[in-house]
Chain A
């Protein structure tokens, strides 16, 4: 048993034990598990894509943990941030969806789910869900819709949005390629499904190059009136 020199006073005798007062210990209820999500809305389709890497610190927990969760036949939610809160939040949303269906005898629309999620998140305004959410789906007229949220429930409808660890790298590229920002003399064609899927794959390849938390694989959920289709593309594993 080692006793430090601090236990002894200048005269060589052992010091009396004194209670020094409250000691602050640091416990954080949150962890950051990485991951990037992206959603794009088209004329008659919506895409929700996420990488499948789950990490913590410098380690990888899983290479196959997608961040897209199917809510209804026309809506998918992407959740990144603290994985514990992502799981709890999606469980709560699924329960609330069932309750709505049983009371109102119909499925929730994308807009309704978005409004509900905002209230769920603000309900924990003083101990937030550490989750960055993006909902992608079809609205009541069959047009693509994207709703992006902050951790405490502020939301808006977008055409495209990136969230998660590589969001700052993806968002400017999407602003340029989908929003045609900072470009002159360019034919502003409406975004087709094929072009959108190709763009999503390419931006994730680029994000995996520079963001350590993004990689392993990319899962794209393609939402059309036919239903929800999935595509999986491998990414860098380092």
Chain B
């Protein structure tokens, strides 16, 4: 008699819909109790990038929203991919964070295997292949920029997996405000200071005219052999100064009963 052996089948690519039924049941259970499941935090956001004479300048605002409430007033949206490649992320905060970290890790392994500095086009290819595999369910809209042996490059990557290689790009809810600034003042082969000023002004347009973006302007200037991660580059909005004093005196929080518990911890 031969015992039947069951073989574990591994998923070969494509989207795994395993947990969808379970998630739907959980959602229904939560709703029955009268609660709503937590919404994924979106970053609102204005991100942009520009190619200039010596390299690329990436820019981002620093506000993260949960619905129409500010969850983080100073979050970092420019993510490290490799020493010469950085990526700005808009859309669902967890998705941009994890996606860039996964590709950064894989790119480092790839770079060790090739023995060369990673290329921007490689990061672009890895990101688009992952996002397409998830058919847009990973809500990550990215601006990828860097300098490699081929020169400075800038890509915009959409959640469904399409990419565009362009001299200037903007993404996020404030992208229209930022693009308006770019379309007015962009020129090819700008100097570094002019490019930084242009990116700063584009992000500022998003910060002041888009409710989903706000707080400070972060910049990342990537050239051959050097990266300037300027966080913050410009504190465009300072917190208002309160004139009253709201510190509570000792005894304001009443404790009506005292409980003393003696705990013995054997050494």
Mask: chain B, 53-71; 1 = CB below 8 Å from A; 0 = not = 0000000000101001110
Q: Which residues of B from 26 to 64 have beta carbons under 8 Å from A?
A: 44, 63
Report the Cα distance A238→B208, complex, angstroms: 4
A55 touches B211 (CB 8 A): yes
B162 lies within 8 A of chain A by Cβ: no
Closest to B68 in A: A212
Verify B70–A211 contact, CB threshold 8 A.
yes
Interface flags for B243-267 (1: CB within 8 Å of A; 0: not) read: 1101011011110000000000000
The CB with the most chain A CB atoms within 10 A, among B68, B210, B236, B249, is that of B68
Whether A202 lies near B210 (C-beta < 8 A) is: no
Nearest CB of B to A64, in Å: 14
CA distance A185 to B250 in the complex (A): 9
The answer on a CB contact under 8 Å between B253 and A184 is yes
Within the complex, the shortest CB–CB distance from A63 to chain B, in Å, comes to 9
| Docked-complex contact B210 and A59, CB < 8 angstroms | yes
What is the number of residues of chain B that contact chain A, defined by CB distance less than 8 Å? 32
Contact B211 A236, beta carbon cutoff 8 Å: no
Q: How many angstroms from the CA of A43 to the CA of B121 in the assembled complex?
A: 70
Which residues of chain A from 206 to 223 have any CB-CB distance to chain B below 8 Å in the complex? 206, 208-213
* Residues in B neighbouring A232, C-beta threshold 8 A: none
Task: Give the number of residues in A that approach B within 8 Å (Cβ atoms).
Answer: 29
Is A165 in contact with chain B by the CB < 8 A criterion? yes
Q: Is B239 an interface residue (CB 8 A)?
A: yes
Instruction: Give A165 to B214 CA distance when docked, in angstroms.
Output: 18
* A127 on the B face (CB < 8 A): no
- The verdict on A58 contacting B242 (CB below 8 Å), with A183-B252, A184-B252, A184-B253 known, is no
Tell me if B63 and A238 are in contact (CB < 8 A). Answer: yes
B residues 69-86 in Cβ contact with A at 8 Å: 69-70, 73
- Find chain B residues with CB under 8 A from A177 CB: 246
Q: Which residues of A contact B252 (CB under 8 A)?
A: 183-186
In the assembly, what is the distance between CA of A235 and CA of B70, in Å?
Answer: 16
Most-contacted residue by chain B among A165, A199, A206, A209 (CB, 10 A) = A209
Q: Does B123 contact A (CB under 8 A)?
A: no
Say whether A205 faces chain B, with CB atoms less than 8 Å apart.
yes
A212 touches B209 (CB 8 A): no
Residue of A nearest to B67 (CB): A212
Q: Is A198 in the interface zone, CB < 8 Å from B?
A: yes
- Closest CB-CB distance, A168 to chain B, in whole Å? 9
- Which of B208, B251, B254 is the one whose CB lies under 8 Å from A237? B208
CA of A176 to CA of B263 in the docked complex: distance in angstroms? 37
**In this assembly, does B240 line the interface, its C-beta being within 8 Å of a C-beta of chain A?**
yes
Which residues of A have CB within 8 Å of B237? 236-238
**What distance in Å separates the Cβ of B64 from its nearest Cβ neighbour in chain A?**
12
Inter-chain contact A205/B63, CB cutoff 8 Å = no
With both chains docked as a complex, state the minimum distance between the C-beta of B128 and any C-beta of chain A, in angstroms.
26
Contact partners of B253 in chain A: CB under 8 A: 182-184
Distance A165 CA – B68 CA, assembled complex (angstroms): 9
Residues of chain B lying within 8 A (CB to CB) of residue A237: 208, 237
Q: B70, B210, B248, B251: which contacts A210 (Cβ < 8 A)?
A: B70
Given pairs A184-B253, A238-B63, 7 additional interface contacts (CB within 8 A): A59-B210, A185-B251, A209-B70, A210-B69, A211-B68, A212-B70, A236-B239
In the complex, the 4 A-B pairs of residues with the closest C-beta atoms, listed nearest first: A205-B240, A238-B214, A184-B254, A212-B211
A and B contact pairs by CB, cutoff 8 A, 16 listed: A55-B211, A58-B210, A58-B212, A59-B209, A60-B209, A177-B246, A185-B254, A198-B243, A198-B244, A206-B240, A209-B73, A211-B70, A212-B65, A212-B211, A237-B208, A238-B237
Q: Which residues of B contact A (CB under 8 A)?
A: 44, 63, 65, 68-70, 73, 173, 207-215, 236-237, 239-244, 246, 248-249, 251-254
| Chain A contact residues, CB within 8 Å of chain B | 55, 57-60, 165, 177, 182-186, 195, 198-199, 201-202, 205-206, 208-213, 235-238
